[in-house]
A and B are shown apart, each in its own frame.
Chain A
């Protein structure tokens, strides 16, 4: 019995409950539980990686009901990767929050762990409707994390975020319904089997269902033109929340990747390649607009939000090639950009605090008190998100370029990557030089809050993760390649879940 498959969901879920019960009146207990849950999730993810990195796929029939009738959890390299990444980011977000963010509202850690559980559930479930449920957990937790401080900024952004996503959820259900109506199943692997047997009269219907589903995922992933909500939302969240949100869009990417390869892959009969023709151009435009947005932002947090959009564009452009190398490069970049952006969000919080009233606005203000240290960290973070050496973003971009070279899309991808890299360089060097070089010296040393070691710990932690990721790029890339190949030939997955090969 592979009970370990449930751990990434159950650990944060139970931790959330315990946080409410045991830690109801004691912030210290909540914090200890949050850290334990973070470590536990990482451990579960790491174990899962260990088990799956050779391409083996494990299925867990919830309630003892075999797929497609019960809800099956499916552990493969991709889900293991995302679980681990979620665990890492959640741990650092939780640690950072302990410096004054988790006391602003009572349930911060509860919401955070619930969101982790939702994300892990989403990446593990093999069932379309469960995916919806997990998405809702994740979203509702994220709504809460956005507004938990009751600040006007968060509330205003929250209204947008919530309403847009409620509309998105309605669309999600329509898509699920359509697919169930035409295939008669909710299990993804079963659906993959069934779409292959559909007759031509069902072509339009199943494709419409598939495309609607993709629109929903694109909304979550913030793909053009559904990306506009993101910068403001991320820019309005508190630092640990925004840092953790870095993983949120990736779940959308995950869903696009999973469903478009498993159910709507190139061998899906009348449902073949539903998304393939559109993803790459949309992603390229997303990348371009995201980077222009980063350049045109008047606030640093918002610029980071746009950088997320751009990173989504980059990875989806690569995934949109639908080749093993393309998908692998996209995945490789996904991990990198999540860590990088998360680190920058935390860092920007420290920087903004030391700039006084000007906060994160890109205007001349007093320089951060710890100019050298924060400047160095900012430099490293910027290097990461721009995709400059020596950090892994550079390798990711190289891989994307390599992957697209032999495809018909080479010109689009190359032009997009190269031009936007320069834009990113300009944007971040402007921001950095404005904040750290142009900044006026603080007149009153005493008043400026200096970042404590404990505040810096998560920033350094994430940076360390980035460095380790760069150093161990070899195995990481190999893993991505294995995952990508598995995704493009979903037979193993289907067999693991359904017991038959298509």
Chain B
């Protein structure tokens, strides 16, 4: 429970600094510091049991299906890292309070810092590896925020993005690798994984899994060739560098190596990958660090180098090396954090971090000088400092690598060379800043900072010295516990004493220290040589790759999604053709065995007419009015065909819809260009014609294939049951529409109303100024004869509409067709007498009629609920009316009436709105009115 609390405290604390910020800087700092301190105290309370070798586990189910538990684990290794995270965290919070500028938003800074702290604790305390990966990515995210904290600085922004990209990529690889790892081990719990070492290392997926996991570790710990993000991350405020980029986050990579050491280490892939990359990084980064002029840059590369050292140690795969690795983690955290803080102090007090500018600060900043000197000594591996012990143990380990039996000198030589450069840059740091004569004046007058900044550094430096002198007594127990969980078994013999006699590693240390000093003395020559070398860095490669991907993405997107609808349609059509054709190509086209229906001359004639009219529509499409007329012919012929194919309802519907469509198209043509310009190239036309021919033929062939097959469908049921005792009808199509499948019909009506409302909305935005034509031959706008005939026709056609509507249940007709006929009667008034005249006399809003229709249909369907029948049940009751007799399909009739009204309302809304378009009206704006009636607005 207290483990969970330790983990939760930083996350809960995130809210405090931003909230307390208004109470002042101190409040914000306390808001960050108190949760940290509490967590640290709680952690320390676990110390005794952990140091005694206990493993504390606390687990809660989270997502069993993924094998993800909220499992926490405190063992020696986790305890060590948690201690570092919280302990150094406390120091950094203190330091930052004094370091950060007065006008910096300190609350946000601490919030990010606590977010990071919590995530880091999560990594080191996770029992479930997926949970660990989860926290892993959060550290990348918080690092992104912290690096980009000085967001006005373009370098900072770039550095933040780069760090996120690299560590994010690594994180994704890591979680992929962990997924494989869990799959191999059969569980994502560390307890299981750590116990399955043999199973894992002998598994087929071991190497790919290892590569993925290592990508995660190497990117995080800035191992070559992924190291370049770390120097770029130095744009972060110095407390961040001190915390994340030296002591904690970058250590997550090596933590992972340590954590999984029992399960993954000891194989030759592990050795060559981890050991090789580590040693290479150690040397390379030390070499580069020597050439850095920026203090933080130097420290960054130094960090990379030391992380390489630790990585190499874990890579060696032996228990002894692992112990040393853990030990160096502790040491490095202490001296590097102190040095970063020192660098921050120098920057803070002088205004620059450039070693070439700085110099001679020993007089102005004596305290700082002492602390820097001690920290650097630890870093350089000078005896009596903690760095010396772990470095010498490291050198010793390089001497005894079974897998390097063929070339045993390689690792020792590279390691020594790395240590040599390490010495060189450490000397440079101290001498360059504090001792050599300054070349120019620093931007600010240098002097020692306040105690608040010095104390945290002092504490860390003290640790370096104390551990350096009495390692066994101070760091011993913690190391034993941490190394114990890293090795995963009995600890090998090791000695943390300063003096092991005259050994080969002592000689190597001596060479490194001496050589380093010599190298520093020769620095001028070396810089000159370095300047002449071409600058090819990982950062350049990264930016090159990123640029390439970006321009590729932009180019590809612009090319593909070019805003051409024609292309999209061609793609859709192409997909459909492929989808339709594939099965036939695979399985063959089989004509059915059913007997064919004999044909007759009339059918052939109508067919020929249809084909000609259809093709005429295509060929005349540029002369639009002609095309409309041809389309009408097609519609008419289709209606005849429907009649012929025993589908009278369809014929009626098609006829009515056709003429309303023609009206629509004519209304549109009034506004749109009357003639389309020629534009397609011949090639394009041929392509389109080919596609069209294939598409059409496909439809025809499928229809042929189906029509020639015998039928076995559910339709007999409808024929059998249409005339059911109550409410049934003889027109089966109508019964299907209003009863069997009333749901579809309700939906269909909704579609119509939606269309009408859409038209209504859209046409509020389209206006067209009508130009009155001057013509003596046909002068009257409303021809008397048309007007006169339209008057009686209104009632007559409405009567017919009623007739068709009422008969629908028994004979062809029904609500939809009746509605269209009624609409046509009304439209005739529009045509004859104009919209204003007609509208004045309608006295009803058609939109309202449409909605009322839908409501009526819905209600008549919902009436069934009252008698505990399913929605849209129509056989509810018969209605007896005197004289008239029994109308036994009341609900059906009401439903159909709803459809009728919706159709009239919808169609008339569309047409009247469309006809009204040319009037110039005020643009639609309800906002003003909305404000008056809007209850939500204050």
The reply to whether A and B meet directly (CB within 8 Å) is yes
B553-577 near A? 1/0 per residue, CB < 8 Å = 1111110110101011101110110
* Chain A residues whose CB sits within 8 angstroms of the CB of B328 once the complex forms: none
The answer to whether A477 touches B66, judged by C-beta atoms less than 8 angstroms apart, is: yes
The answer to whether B933 touches A433, judged by C-beta atoms less than 8 angstroms apart, is: no
Indicate whether A228 sits within 8 Å of B750 (C-beta atoms), given known contacts A295-B549, A477-B66.
no
Q: Which chain A residues in 396-410 approach chain B with CB under 8 Å? A: 398-399, 401-402, 405-406
**Distance (whole angstroms) from the CB of B792 to the closest CB of chain A:** 34
**Distance (whole angstroms) from the CB of A52 to the closest CB of chain B:** 18
B161-184 near A? 1/0 per residue, CB < 8 Å = 100110011001101100110010
Indicate whether A394 sits within 8 Å of B137 (C-beta atoms), given known contacts A27-B930, A184-B712, A430-B161.
yes
A21, A65, A296, A399: the one contacting B740 at CB < 8 Å is: A65
B63 proximal to A (CB < 8 A): yes
**Distance (whole angstroms) from the CB of A113 to the closest CB of chain B:** 11
A420-447 near B? 1/0 per residue, CB < 8 Å = 0111011001100100111000000000
Indicate whether A134 sits within 8 Å of B747 (C-beta atoms), given known contacts A64-B873, A207-B583, A401-B176.
yes
B499 proximal to A (CB < 8 A): no
B141 proximal to A (CB < 8 A): yes
* Chain B residues whose CB sits within 8 angstroms of the CB of A489 once the complex forms: none
The answer to whether B161 touches A426, judged by C-beta atoms less than 8 angstroms apart, is: yes
> Within the assembled complex, what's the spacing in Å between the Cα atoms of A297 and B560?
12
> Within the assembled complex, what's the spacing in Å between the Cα atoms of A151 and B764?
12
The answer to whether A433 touches B858, judged by C-beta atoms less than 8 angstroms apart, is: no
From A105, A160, A200, A478, residue with most partner B Cβ within 10 Å: A105
> Within the assembled complex, what's the spacing in Å between the Cα atoms of A180 and B707?
12
Q: Which chain B residues in 829-879 approach chain A with CB under 8 Å? A: 847-848, 851-852, 854-855, 858, 861-862, 864-865, 868-875
The answer to whether B568 touches A228, judged by C-beta atoms less than 8 angstroms apart, is: yes
* Chain B residues whose CB sits within 8 angstroms of the CB of A357 once the complex forms: none
The answer to whether A144 touches B761, judged by C-beta atoms less than 8 angstroms apart, is: yes
Give the number of residues in A that approach B within 8 Å (Cβ atoms). Answer: 136
* Chain B residues whose CB sits within 8 angstroms of the CB of A110 once the complex forms: 757
**Distance (whole angstroms) from the CB of A231 to the closest CB of chain B:** 6
**Distance (whole angstroms) from the CB of B24 to the closest CB of chain A:** 19
From A130, A328, A394, A480, residue with most partner B Cβ within 10 Å: A394
> Within the assembled complex, what's the spacing in Å between the Cα atoms of A429 and B565?
32
The answer to whether B761 touches A215, judged by C-beta atoms less than 8 angstroms apart, is: no
The answer to whether B933 touches A27, judged by C-beta atoms less than 8 angstroms apart, is: yes
Give the number of residues in B that approach A within 8 Å (Cβ atoms). Answer: 134
Indicate whether A481 sits within 8 Å of B65 (C-beta atoms), given known contacts A160-B568, A225-B571, A422-B172.
yes
A186-229 near B? 1/0 per residue, CB < 8 Å = 11001000000000111111011101101100110000011011
A293 proximal to B (CB < 8 A): yes
A111 proximal to B (CB < 8 A): yes
* Chain B residues whose CB sits within 8 angstroms of the CB of A474 once the complex forms: 61-65
* Chain A residues whose CB sits within 8 angstroms of the CB of B933 once the complex forms: 26-28
A311 proximal to B (CB < 8 A): no
> Within the assembled complex, what's the spacing in Å between the Cα atoms of A430 and B154?
12
A287-299 near B? 1/0 per residue, CB < 8 Å = 0010011011110
A82 proximal to B (CB < 8 A): no
Q: Which chain B residues in 29-74 approach chain A with CB under 8 Å? A: 61-68
The answer to whether B183 touches A402, judged by C-beta atoms less than 8 angstroms apart, is: yes
The answer to whether B712 touches A10, judged by C-beta atoms less than 8 angstroms apart, is: no
Q: Please give me the residue from chain B that is nearest to A205 by CB atom.
A: B705
The answer to whether B64 touches A478, judged by C-beta atoms less than 8 angstroms apart, is: yes
The answer to whether A478 touches B561, judged by C-beta atoms less than 8 angstroms apart, is: no
The answer to whether A106 touches B761, judged by C-beta atoms less than 8 angstroms apart, is: yes
The answer to whether B871 touches A180, judged by C-beta atoms less than 8 angstroms apart, is: no
A101-131 near B? 1/0 per residue, CB < 8 Å = 0011111001100100110010001000110
A64, A148, A433: the one contacting B869 at CB < 8 Å is: A64
The answer to whether B765 touches A228, judged by C-beta atoms less than 8 angstroms apart, is: no
Which stretch from A40-48, A84-92, A164-172 is at the chain B interface? A164-172
From B589, B744, B847, B869, residue with most partner A Cβ within 10 Å: B744
The answer to whether B750 touches A137, judged by C-beta atoms less than 8 angstroms apart, is: yes
Indicate whether A140 sits within 8 Å of B179 (C-beta atoms), given known contacts A292-B553, A402-B67, A433-B157.
no
**Distance (whole angstroms) from the CB of A122 to the closest CB of chain B:** 10
A182 proximal to B (CB < 8 A): yes
Q: Which chain B residues in 572-614 approach chain A with CB under 8 Å? A: 572-573, 575-576, 579-584, 586-590, 592
The answer to whether A215 touches B862, judged by C-beta atoms less than 8 angstroms apart, is: no
B934 proximal to A (CB < 8 A): yes
* Chain B residues whose CB sits within 8 angstroms of the CB of A414 once the complex forms: 176
Indicate whether A296 sits within 8 Å of B165 (C-beta atoms), given known contacts A71-B741, A372-B108, A399-B66.
no
B546 proximal to A (CB < 8 A): yes
A55 proximal to B (CB < 8 A): no
Q: Which chain B residues in 867-899 approach chain A with CB under 8 Å? A: 868-875
* Chain B residues whose CB sits within 8 angstroms of the CB of A137 once the complex forms: 747, 750-751, 754
B145, B709, B718, B743: the one contacting A69 at CB < 8 Å is: B718
The answer to whether A205 touches B575, judged by C-beta atoms less than 8 angstroms apart, is: no
The answer to whether A27 touches B926, judged by C-beta atoms less than 8 angstroms apart, is: yes
The answer to whether B854 touches A205, judged by C-beta atoms less than 8 angstroms apart, is: no
* Chain A residues whose CB sits within 8 angstroms of the CB of B533 once the complex forms: none
A68 proximal to B (CB < 8 A): yes
* Chain A residues whose CB sits within 8 angstroms of the CB of B502 once the complex forms: none
Q: Which chain B residues in 145-169 approach chain A with CB under 8 Å? A: 145, 148, 151-152, 154, 157, 160-161, 164-165, 168-169
Indicate whether A106 sits within 8 Å of B926 (C-beta atoms), given known contacts A71-B741, A184-B712, A205-B706.
yes
A493 proximal to B (CB < 8 A): no
Interface residues of A: mostly helix, strand, loop or mixed? helix
**Distance (whole angstroms) from the CB of B162 to the closest CB of chain A:** 10
> Within the assembled complex, what's the spacing in Å between the Cα atoms of A274 and B173?
34
* Chain B residues whose CB sits within 8 angstroms of the CB of A297 once the complex forms: 557
> Within the assembled complex, what's the spacing in Å between the Cα atoms of A201 and B560?
40
* Chain B residues whose CB sits within 8 angstroms of the CB of A17 once the complex forms: 851, 854-855, 858
The answer to whether B742 touches A63, judged by C-beta atoms less than 8 angstroms apart, is: yes
Q: Which chain A residues in 445-500 approach chain B with CB under 8 Å? A: 454, 473-474, 477-478, 480-481
Indicate whether A232 sits within 8 Å of B563 (C-beta atoms), given known contacts A63-B872, A204-B583, A414-B176.
yes
Indicate whether A3 sits within 8 Å of B871 (C-beta atoms), given known contacts A28-B935, A63-B739.
yes
The answer to whether A144 touches B757, judged by C-beta atoms less than 8 angstroms apart, is: yes
From B179, B573, B760, residue with most partner A Cβ within 10 Å: B179
B136, B144, B555, B765: the one contacting A296 at CB < 8 Å is: B555
Which residues of B are in contact with A by a Cβ distance under 8 Å? Answer: 61-68, 105, 108, 130, 133-138, 141, 144-145, 148, 151-152, 154, 157, 160-161, 164-165, 168-169, 172-173, 175-176, 179-180, 183, 546, 549-550, 552-558, 560-561, 563, 565, 567-569, 571-573, 575-576, 579-584, 586-590, 592, 699, 702-703, 705-707, 709, 711-715, 717-718, 721, 739-744, 747-748, 750-751, 754-755, 757-758, 760-762, 764-765, 847-848, 851-852, 854-855, 858, 861-862, 864-865, 868-875, 924, 926-927, 929-930, 933-936
What are 13 A-B interface contacts by the 8 Å CB criterion? A21-B852, A63-B743, A71-B744, A106-B926, A107-B760, A129-B744, A164-B568, A203-B587, A208-B584, A389-B136, A394-B137, A430-B161, A438-B151
What are the 8 tightest A-B residue pairs by CB atom distance, in nearest-first order? A184-B713, A150-B765, A437-B151, A296-B553, A181-B706, A296-B557, A207-B583, A211-B579
**What would 12 more interface pairs be, CB under 8 Å, given A106-B761, A296-B558?**
A24-B848, A63-B871, A63-B873, A64-B869, A133-B751, A150-B762, A164-B568, A212-B576, A296-B554, A389-B134, A405-B183, A437-B148
Which residues of A are in contact with B by a Cβ distance under 8 Å? Answer: 1, 3, 6, 10, 13-14, 17, 20-21, 24, 26-28, 31-32, 60-65, 68-71, 98, 100, 103-107, 110-111, 114, 117-118, 121, 125, 129-130, 133-134, 136-137, 140-141, 143-144, 147-148, 150, 155, 159-160, 163-164, 167-168, 171, 174, 177-178, 180-182, 184-187, 190, 200-205, 207-209, 211-212, 214-215, 218-219, 225-226, 228-229, 231-232, 289, 292-293, 295-298, 306, 328, 372, 379, 383, 388-390, 394-395, 398-399, 401-402, 405-406, 414, 417-418, 421-423, 425-426, 429-430, 433, 436-438, 454, 473-474, 477-478, 480-481
